[in-house]
């Protein structure tokens, strides 16, 4: 490591990753934003799913000021966030075969919808099966993952495949295996993960593309405004009423 303080080194590492994503994933971001715009225009619904810390990026898209009102969270009890006790149970549930199918069977997802699946490693049974079964139902799937895991780890799904193998589009977060950007001689493990920062930025770039694409087609993007801005609640109420049949977090 350089002589620069760890805080600066981490921010530099995050900035470098964001630059890589900007430059190397530009075409994929455009394609993903276009796919979501197509889904909105054709009357489809939008969903996002992530397990563990990957759920943070999914949650950041839902009921979000400046975000698309149509984005819904596909929640799986016990794996959304780290509120489950004991916390390792959430990790164990990600490896359970059949859980994804049960979740999809009880969800409102249907053919013509789009699903963002966020999984840093993309190797566990839950995101792999979520993508497989969603595609089988006619749902368009966008995977957000670190492709490096597919070459440096083994899949934990019986098929031997990864999330990236069952998607219409893949966005590569470029995060190194282990998700820790810094090392120090006197610290026994790598530290300072950047996946949440990079994945959230990558997804917001997709959302920006979706909104701009809809506007270019002469359609008003169904965006939410901050409730802390005067008139924001009235604006959001209008949008949510207009799209009430495609928004599931308000019921």
Per-residue pLDDT tens over the stretch 98-132: 778 888 998 999 999 999 999 999 999 899 999 99
Under the banding of pLDDT at 50, 70 and 90, the label for residue 93 is: low
Number of continuous H segments (helices) and E segments (strands) in the chain: 9, 5
Cα pseudo-dihedral 188, 152, 158, 77, rounded to 10:
50
**Residue 246, CA distances (Å) to 63, 71, 105, 123, 235 in order:** 13, 9, 18, 31, 17
CA separation for the pair 169, 121 (Å, rounded) = 16
CA separation for the pair 73, 196 (Å, rounded) = 17
Q: What is the CA radius of gyration of the chain?
A: 18
Residue positions counted in the chain: 251
pLDDT in tens, 52-74: 889 999 999 999 999 999 999 99
Q: How many CA atoms lie within 13 A of 22 on its CB side?
A: 7
């Amino acid at each position: 490591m350089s002589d620069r303080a760890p805080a600066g080194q981490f921010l530099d590492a995050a900035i470098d990753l964001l630059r890589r994503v900007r430059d190397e994933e530009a075409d994929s971001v455009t394609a993903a934003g276009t796919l979501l715009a197509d889904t909105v225009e054709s009357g489809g619904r939008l969903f996002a799913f992530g397990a563990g810390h990957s759920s943070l990026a999914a949650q950041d898209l839902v009921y979000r000021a400046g975000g698309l009102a149509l984005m819904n969270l596909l929640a799986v009890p016990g794996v959304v966030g780290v509120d489950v006790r004991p916390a390792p149970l959430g990790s164990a549930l990600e490896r359970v075969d059949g859980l994804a199918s049960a979740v999809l069977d009880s969800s409102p997802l249907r053919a013509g919808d789009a699903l963002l699946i966020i999984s840093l490693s993309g190797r566990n049974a839950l995101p792999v099966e979520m993508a497989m079964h969603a595609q089988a139902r006619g749902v368009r799937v966008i995977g957000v993952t670190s492709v490096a895991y597919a070459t440096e780890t083994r899949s934990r799904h019986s098929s031997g495949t990864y999330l990236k193998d069952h998607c219409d589009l893949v966005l590569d977060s470029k995060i190194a295996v282990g998700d820790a950007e810094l090392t120090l001689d006197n610290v026994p493990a790598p530290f300072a993960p950047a996946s949440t920062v990079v994945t959230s930025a990558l997804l917001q770039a997709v959302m920006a593309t979706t909104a701009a694409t809809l506007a270019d087609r002469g359609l008003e993007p169904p965006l939410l405004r901050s409730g802390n801005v005067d008139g924001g609640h009235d604006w959001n109420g209008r949008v949510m009423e207009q799209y009430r049949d495609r928004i599931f977090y308000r019921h």
